Amino acid sequence: MCAGSFREQAAAQKYAQRLSKKGLPARVSRVDLGDKGVWHRVCLGNFSSLAEARAKSKVWEQKKLIRASYVLPLR
């Protein structure tokens, strides 16, 4: 699941550190979106299914650990 996407790697790293301090398993992934350019996604967790990721996302949002997220299947 992704909790944010940033053009600047430094901004993504800063956000990932804030989430890590809250106890969340945050990491930054670089993605090249072609014409849209390079983005740095702040991803959380390692889930075995989309349903598990969506459920955890709701829990973290309800606890106000994250504001919003989106779940992407791995390719």
Q: pLDDT (tens digit, 9 = 90+) per residue, 5-17?
A: 999 999 999 999 9
Domain ranges of the chain: 2-62
**Residue with tokens 């550190």, as numbered in its chain:** 17
Q: Which helix (H) or strand (E) holds 19?
A: helix 9-21
- CATH number of the domain located at residue range(s) 2-62 in this protein: 3.30.70
Q: Which helix (H) or strand (E) holds 41?
A: strand 38-44
Give CA–CA dist 5/7, Å, rounded: 7
User: For the segment 17-40, what is each residue's pLDDT rounded down to a tens digit?
Assistant: 999 999 999 999 999 999 999 999
Q: What percent of the chain has pLDDT over 70?
A: 97
